[in-house]
Amino acid sequence: MKVMCAMSGGVDSSVAALLLRDAGHGVVGVTMKLWGGDSDTGCCSVSDVDDARRVAQQLGIDHLVFNFGDDFDEHVVGPYVDAHARGITPNPCIECNRSVKFARLAERAELLGFDAVATGHHANVGRTPDGRWTLERGDDPAKDQSYVLHMLDQHQLATTLFPVGGMQKSRVRELAASIDLRTAGKPDSQDVCFITSTGGRVSFLGERIPFHRGTVVDTAGTKLGDVESVELVTVGQRKGIGLPGGGPKRYVLDVDTTARVVTVGADAELLRPGVTVRAVTWVDDPCRGAALVQSSAHGVAQPARLEPSGSGDVDVVFDSPQRRIAPGQSVVFYDTSDTRVLGGGIAV
């Protein structure tokens, strides 16, 4: 089989290419050039591209670089900036997977005659007895990345491979070290690739949108303080919201960038019976009824009921109240065994 392997310059994608090569597939490594600005984190730095190229040389496979910078700006960076301006907390890595890695890259692979696209994600693709494709958690619970892949559908899963999904991360590193791959000991990427560790969100967003001072109030509307930049505040936040120390712990309950008001309250006031999820996609057919619902990449999935509406939204009703999910964050549905992804969308 002819496989295009996305190589980010990390150990997982390096070993994915190794496994595919050793399985006898015709493998070509591809690194996507996504972000043209400063980058010292994530998977978009110049050194990452060089690491991917050097690993491909070690493996004896061809290596290509595709420039998807325009797509990245349009579908990931632009929406990220706009979301913050509206007081919404986006998840850019998921949007990158949706619009670039499993859209533009797959499109390019098909155009060039590849049979499949492979990545180093810790997830698994399965098949039901009647031939339907499934997206399942990776075998290493600590590294499972099925949450950030929930948008994949039947068509995409049919031509997607996750070679390291059935492995523990320790074994991935062992394999890389066994043939002296330069990425064997490289730390995992943890941050948004276009946000530098030195400047952070403040520097990045400050160059693109105006910041506005906001008023911090309690649920009764009583002013408690001021926050320097309402655009940088997110639901659930406790620190950096302009309140003096020594008082009761208060958390952000709501952010209104139009009115420039941040409402805070006690931790218990964050509890909600459910959440409405928009822009929902399904791995297979739409589901309703009992499910497990996860609202962060490494969060614990909570029991709930899914109640799809005629508009395509899904109302999630938790079995017990949960902390409010920040608008803009991805909400992912799993089956009741907590192994198979059903679908997901974005919290309202």
Query: Which of 265, 282, 302 corresponds to the end of one domain?
Result: 265
- Do residues 135 and 150 make contact, with C-beta atoms less than 8 angstroms apart? yes
Residue 189 lies in a domain: no
Quote the pLDDT of residue 40.
Answer: 57
Q: Determine whether 44 is an active site residue.
A: no
Predicted model pTM: 0.95
Residue 316 belongs to domain with CATH number: 2.40.30.10
pLDDT of residue 46: 75
Active-site annotation holder among 43, 44, 193, 287: 193
* Same structural domain, 340 and 260: no
pLDDT digits (tens, 9 = 90+) for 72-81: 999 999 999 9
Query: What domain range includes position 93?
Result: 2-120+163-178
Domain annotation covers residue 330? yes
Which CATH number fits the domain that encloses residue 219?
2.30.30.280
C-alpha 28 chain-centroid distance:
25
Question: Is 43 one of the annotated active-site residues of the chain?
Answer: no
Residues in the chain, how many?
Answer: 348
For the chain, how many structural domains are there in total?
3
Helices (H) and strands (E) in the chain, counts: 9, 17
pLDDT tens figures, 252-263: 999 999 999 999
Confidence band, pLDDT 50/70/90 cuts, at residue 45: low
The predicted-structure confidence for 158-178, as pLDDT tens digits, reads as follows 999 999 999 999 999 999 999
> Which pLDDT does position 76 carry in this prediction?
96
In a domain, 137, yes or no: no
Residues 106 and 225 in one domain: no
pLDDT band at 42 (very low <50, low <70, confident <90, very high): low
For the chain, the straight-line distance linking the first and the last C-alpha, in angstroms and rounded, comes to: 42
Q: 100 with 227, same domain?
A: no
When pLDDT is cut at 50, 70 and 90, the band that residue 39 belongs to is low
Whether 43 has a pLDDT exceeding 70, the answer reads: no
* Same structural domain, 116 and 25: yes
**In terms of Cα–Cα distance, which of 3, 19, 115, 1 is closest to 62?**
3
Q: Residue 254: exposed, middle, or buried by beta-carbon count in 10 A (0-12, 13-18, 19+)?
A: middle
Query: Which residues contact residue 117 at a Cβ distance below 8 angstroms, ignoring those fewer than 6 apart?
Result: 3, 4, 5, 6, 102, 105, 106, 109, 159, 160, 161
What is the per-residue DSSP string for 293-317? Answer: EE-STTPPPEEEEEEE-TTS-EEEE
The rounded percent of the chain whose pLDDT value lies above 90 is 89
Q: Are residues 252 and 282 in the same domain?
A: no
- For residue 280, give the nearest of 298, 290, 293, 269 by alpha carbon: 293
For the segment 111-139, the average pLDDT, to the nearest whole number, is 98
- Per-residue pLDDT, 41: 57
